[in-house]
Amino acid sequence: MKLAVIGAGSTYTPELVSGLMRERERIDVRELVLHDIDPERREVVGGLARRILERQGFAGALATTGELDRALDGADAVLIQIRVGGQAARLRDETIPAACGCVGQETTGAGGLAKTMRTVPVVLEVAQRARELAADDAWIVDFTNPVGIVIRALLDAGHRAIGLCNVAITFQRQIAGHLGVAPDRVLVDQVGLNHLTWIRAVWLDGRDVLPEVLSSFGDELADEIELPRRLLDALGAIPSYYLRYFYAEREVVREQKVTPPRAQVVLDIERRLLELYRDPSLAEKPVLLEQRGGAFYSEAAIQLVASLNADTGDIQVVDVRNQGTLSGLADDDVVELPARIGAAGAVPVPQPPLAPELLGLVQHVAAYERLAAEAAASGDRDRARLALMTHPLVREDELAEGLLERLLAAETQPPPMPTEVGR
């Protein structure tokens, strides 16, 4: 297999290459190509990746390149993990909505729309080149946020694509830790939309232990997602930590007035990580990487590619078309839920209907995602305004208009700090 990673200047990449050797029995990567448009990050991250692979006895070929066609030519799988505009753009996505009294977050609300408008056209360009140059049956695995909308755009354009988020695997590891068992014994039945999901069952060796998990570890889980324990009990489910932006919207807005944007925190972590990566004696991912966010994504990505390649039929949480799986949503909506993975793709596992208190919010955001994907693919400003009016974290016409003006104007201004590509 030839595996191409687009946006490989990401600080996540060392974790990604570490996972290759763990899955060597299911995925025989003969050529790994790391692509990034930033030459410095490409050299620094690529250098650590090479040392990690050499230490692990990787027998294939490793190449780093800034040429997209070189990376995609003949690829059997393409991982896309780009951040268009880098942390500079993320800072705008977080601070402009916050200044207007809204939640400032890079994947949801007004900031999420700005990221969508900037990102979808670039991902579609990469996917089109992959269609022309990669193997006919190549899969695109996307981790580029906002994943649900990006995957909708890719599927609407006819690409073979599956979306991936780290939330499910993070919960799997946390819950397995609470239970004191190996993670591979735990399956979280996480359903909803990307960054808008709830765990409605926790399967341990085939038995649903969610009631026991909530009873024994509800306080710890509530602390981890920064929501009240009573909410978990009322829902009978574990909300994703992204649900805090909806369930505690006013509290988040208040916090944003006194705490630095996440983009600034991440920028400092990335600076420190890149300094560590430059150390020629370093040949493993550093502990600091766990603070970057997106924990375990790379491990999940390699598992997904391996299962697609080996036609294993195991169950993983991914982003795919609904196709009737969740009633109350359109067939072409992109949902995030457990699916059986094989060579033909991902087949969603049948799901019971969402409870009304979950379905209402999911339908609301699904409508926004449809409009946002259309706006990003077409560049239609009016569609973008409608998308903001539809989002539950914006809603108001005048607010949507003002936010859109500020966000679009900011895209034409020089970045306040250097850009980078990797997610």
CA atoms within 13 A on the CB side of 229: 10
Kindly provide the residue ranges of all beta strands, DSSP E only, lying in 108-156, ordered along the sequence: 139-142
Which pair of tokens denotes residue 351?
């799901």
User: 247 catalytic, yes or no?
Assistant: no
Nearest one of 125, 156, 112 to 372, comparing CA atoms? 112
Which pair of tokens denotes residue 336?
């995030």
Active-site residue, selected from the candidate residues 12, 242, 245, 277: 242
Q: How many angstroms separate the CA atoms of 217 and 313, rounded? A: 31
How many CB atoms neighbour CB 150 within 10 A? 31
What are residue 308's phi and psi, to 5 degrees? -65, -40
What are residue 146's phi and psi, to 5 degrees? -75, 115
Q: Which amino acid is at 417?
A: M
Contact of 97 with 103, CB cutoff 8 Å: yes
Distances (CA, A) of 351 to 120, 193, 321, 346: 29, 14, 14, 15
The catalytic residues are: 242
